[in-house]
């Protein structure tokens, strides 16, 4: 059962990573340029991976108990990545799921729910991959 749950949540996390790349492209217009600048394209991929990495590391980052500068910087960076992740998920879901048309109250509600589920799927994946149960056993790996 945990494997099936991880698979389902993992699919949401992959969509989250894709929408992050899409959102960065939308802001910077990297992949729509003709010709595509390979350095900018690499930048977009690296930033997307960093944001995705911070979201996957959520459980690990928020279990630090030390009150040092590195822990504080990690948590600030996590909030920045979470903000980028939320924005890019909204943009990607508007474009791909709603085909650019979000006009009514129910559509906005659906956008909020879908974005919440997609964004939290990566955070939940972090919990499944990195947390231990009450007996001290790892959940998945």
pLDDT in tens, 21-64: 998 988 888 888 889 889 999 999 999 999 999 999 998 999 88
What phi and psi, each to the nearest 5 degrees, are found at residue 138? Answer: -65, 145
Q: Cβ of 28: how many Cβ atoms within 10 Å?
A: 15
What phi and psi, each to the nearest 5 degrees, are found at residue 132? Answer: -115, 150
Token pair in block for residue 6: 């991880």
Q: Which pTM value belongs to this model?
A: 0.85
pLDDT in tens, 67-121: 899 999 999 999 999 999 999 999 989 988 888 889 999 999 999 999 999 999 9
20 closest CA partner among 48, 53, 56: 48
- How many CA atoms, within 13 angstroms, populate the side-chain half-sphere of residue 20? 28
Q: Where are the domains of the chain?
A: 2-130
How would you class 38 by CB atoms within 10 Å of its CB: exposed for 0-12, middle for 13-18, buried for 19 or more?
A: exposed
């Amino acid at each position: 059962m945990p494997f099936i749950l991880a698979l389902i949540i993992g699919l949401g996390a992959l969509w989250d990573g894709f929408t992050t790349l899409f959102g960065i492209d939308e802001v910077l217009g990297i992949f729509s340029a003709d010709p595509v600048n390979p350095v900018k394209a690499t930048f977009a991929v690296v930033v997307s991976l960093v944001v995705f990495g911070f979201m996957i590391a959520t459980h690990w980052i928020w279990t630090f108990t030390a009150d040092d500068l590195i822990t504080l910087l990690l948590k600030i960076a996590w909030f920045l990545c979470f903000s980028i992740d939320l924005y890019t998920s909204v943009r990607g879901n508007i474009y791909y799921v709603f085909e650019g048309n979000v006009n009514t109250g129910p559509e906005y509600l659906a956008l909020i729910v879908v974005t919440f589920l997609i964004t939290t799927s990566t955070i939940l994946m972090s919990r499944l991959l990195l947390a231990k149960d009450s007996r001290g056993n790892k959940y998945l790996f």
